[in-house]
Chain A
Amino acid sequence: MQRNIESAVHGEVLTPLDFKGKDPRLSCDVLVIGSGAGGATVAATAAENGKKVLLIEEGPAYKSSEYSANFSGMTSEIMRNGGATVILGRSPIAYLEGKVLGGSTVLNGGMCWRTPTEVLEEWEARGLEHLSPQKLDPYFDLVEEVIQARYQNVGSEGENNQVFRRGAEAMGWRLQRNKRNQVHCVGTNDCVSGCPTGAKQSTPLTWVPRLLKAGGQVLCYASAQKIIVKQQRVTGVKVRLRKPFGHQDIIIKANKVVVACGAVQTPLLLQRSKIFKNPHLGQHFTVHPNAKVAALFDHPVDSMKGVHQAWQCTEFQEDGILMAPGGVPLSVIAQCFPLMGAELTEQMRLAPYIATAGVLVDDSRSGTVKAGPFGIDLIKYDISDYDQERFIRGVQRLAQIYFAAGARKVYTPFTEIPTLDHPEQIQRLANVLPKVEHTEYFTAHLMGTCRMSATHSEGVVKPSGESWDVQGLYVADASVMPGTIGVNPQVTIMALARLIGEALVENTH
């Protein structure tokens, strides 16, 4: 089944090579920019409703079998800026963005959580009635069916997840099993660099085949440079056909353009296009900051073996704190320690006995994304003191979990107190109160730079996903979220994109 889908996808994906020596004059009803969770979903929805759809992707298309075991090599190939992307602020926050067919769904952990009811009720209260829990439920059902959001195969979790589960159970805290978009995941734990078995149902295995089956087309190595607008109506996109075939700029004409490049690239593209001014464009940027915690056990944890993340501890979710294990490759474990050279080698000898996890804090503050001069992207986000307090509490609780599971040592993300050797030392974190500047953060959940709103004065896009300022221009990715959601956003993005896709089709009639 899977092999057939993959060969179908890769037989039909266009590359600039298909236009070699020709002047490509492309036109379509709907041009979708970006093939991640939002773009692929909206493209498939429009194609299945009879529209002529072209989906363009800046990166290459990979088959599952082509994701190599060379982690640093894969980061160069499938991530933006070779994986070296950073949000600047009081402390830099590292993040990853997919630049490959499938976008960040190729790099994510595959967690499938519906938007929490209280978040949807808040959005509904802001006048977005179509986002009420009752109205979005059928969309969540459909998305989960399409991407095969299911619990892990029994026995595929691995010890990295089990020590976390045992610790949380010992503390008596609420645990929830992750649903993940997977078919027979066997715990390779290569989610971040592309699933080599094809188990993770990222968009090249789900929405993209649906798009192709419905007659849509996909063009890779095609980077959108500028949205073209005439009399406040979108007419097409200037696209640069890229590597490895040299550069060639073409214009693709389209009646509707859907921008789905993610919460960072979408506002940058719209700002660089200079087609409208909206005070909310690039604002309200939320990131769900994460901090890594590791723990040393006296038995092998072998974090390489088993699924990336099978459980989440939701005991403190009301406080905006989520804790979860996260198995990572050796080269990422090495980054958990602020060490170098011989000292790091010594530390890394313990790597098979080290478990890794993360604390996620739901943002209380937002940042900005701005297109600066000379092509510099100004991406700023400051962790607030309130969020830092919650980080400290979250790390304390994660340390409690690990000590309860039998850990001998816990490694924190704080340079002031890098290790805890005993449960009694946990309190030191509250006494010292590590500063934001001395904490290492990372994130994978970028949201909210073109937020959806009930009125023009409050956001960038209408409830239908269409821009308030330009007719025929839609946004369908994490940037339309009206606020932070506190859980992994993949299912939320797809549900919103499906809804926007349906609205786009209706508006065309």
Chain B
Amino acid sequence: MNPNFQFSMLNRRTLLAVSRAIGPIEVGVEALDIYVLEQIESQVRQFPRLHRLGFCLGLYFIELGGFIGGWGLLPFSLLKRDRATKRLYRLLHSRLTPIRLLANGLRVLVCLSAYGHTEVERWFGFERRAWRKQRIATRQVLMDKISPQKITPVPEPLYTLNDQKQHELLSWESHQELVRAALPTLIEKHQTPDLSISNEIESPFNVEDFTATTSETHVKLDQDKAE
């Protein structure tokens, strides 16, 4: 581990190109490639020295290896996105295990960062941060209101349908009801009654057309959403 590690300029260029080739740039999140680069850099800082060295050499190979491997003369970072993606696919299906591992490792690292970005998650219908906030509030109410009276022995669940009406613990209505019921206690204890959290999944995707995969359909769906 080296907390001060930074990629070289050439490695940074390659990684930015790799993140654009793998990541969801269609979502339109500003500077997603730079975000991915920073996330990967912080992960690579945790690698042992030799793994870090191997990773950086791998990036040099991706950047300049096209000439050696015979799959293209241009350095990777100068390729257009679709050509860069094609080159990575080629590496992903290489017969040589180390090359396959490198391409797959990059795919995993970029997916982990790019698809974990708040805006990207939201675009794909995963409002994870709002969901966490709501869950933390829900659990707080359960801990404050229910637990002291009802600590049952293991393995019995602590919360059953008898405790509340026949609604799901995961539903927004249930959360609101629980928080409202506990409002005086919450105000007294935490001063943070928050009923304003959105819990609706805004999928860019029409349930009726769930199998649609053409870009035309998605463009149309995006237009509908914008309207």
Chain A interface residues toward B at CB < 8 A: 1-2, 65, 69-73, 75-76, 79-84, 86, 92, 94, 144-145, 148-158, 179, 183-184, 186-188, 190, 196-199, 242-244, 296, 298-300, 302, 304-306, 329-335, 338, 340-353, 374-377, 408
Contacting pair A1 B143 (CB below 8 A): yes
Contacting pair B210 A298 (CB below 8 A): yes
Measured as residues with beta carbon below 8 angstroms from the partner, the interface class of chain B is 35 or more
Which chain B residue lies CB-closest to A184? B142
Q: Which of B7-15, B63-71, B112-120, B180-188 contacts A (4 or more CB under 8 A)?
A: B112-120
Q: Number of A-B pairs whose CB atoms are under 8 Å?
A: 228
Contacting pair A184 B159 (CB below 8 A): yes
Known: A341-B22, A346-B215. A188 touches B135 (CB 8 A): yes
Partner of B158 from A72, A153, A157, A190 at Cβ < 8 Å: A153
Flag whether B168 is at the interface (Cβ < 8 A): yes
Flag whether B132 is at the interface (Cβ < 8 A): yes
Contacting pair B124 A352 (CB below 8 A): yes
Contacting pair A82 B45 (CB below 8 A): yes
Q: What residues on A are CB-neighbors of B176 within 8 Å?
A: none
Contacting pair B131 A72 (CB below 8 A): no
Known: A155-B168, A353-B210. A330 touches B155 (CB 8 A): no
Chain B interface residues toward A at CB < 8 A: 1, 3, 21-27, 39, 42-51, 81-82, 85, 88-89, 92, 101, 104-105, 107-109, 111-116, 118, 120-121, 124-126, 128-129, 131-132, 135-136, 138-139, 142-143, 146-147, 152, 154-161, 167-171, 174, 201, 203-205, 207, 210-211, 213, 215, 218
Contacting pair B42 A76 (CB below 8 A): yes
Contacting pair A150 B161 (CB below 8 A): no
Q: What residues on B are CB-neighbors of A92 within 8 Å?
A: 101, 104
Contacting pair B109 A84 (CB below 8 A): yes
Q: What residues on A are CB-neighbors of B204 within 8 Å?
A: 349
Report Cα–Cα, A331/B139, bound state, in Å. 25
Known: A155-B170, A183-B158. A375 touches B48 (CB 8 A): yes
Report Cα–Cα, A79/B170, bound state, in Å. 29
Contacting pair B50 A374 (CB below 8 A): yes
Contacting pair B3 A244 (CB below 8 A): yes
The 6 closest A-B pairs by CB, nearest first: A82-B43, A155-B169, A82-B46, A153-B159, A341-B85, A331-B116
Q: Which of A158, A187, A304, A331 has the most CB of B within 10 A?
A: A331
Contacting pair A152 B47 (CB below 8 A): no
- In the complex, what's the smallest C-beta–C-beta distance from A412 to chain B, in angstroms? 17
Report Cα–Cα, A152/B154, bound state, in Å. 11
Contacting pair A340 B88 (CB below 8 A): yes
Known: A71-B112, A196-B136, A340-B107. A155 touches B161 (CB 8 A): yes
Q: What residues on A are CB-neighbors of B120 within 8 Å?
A: 330
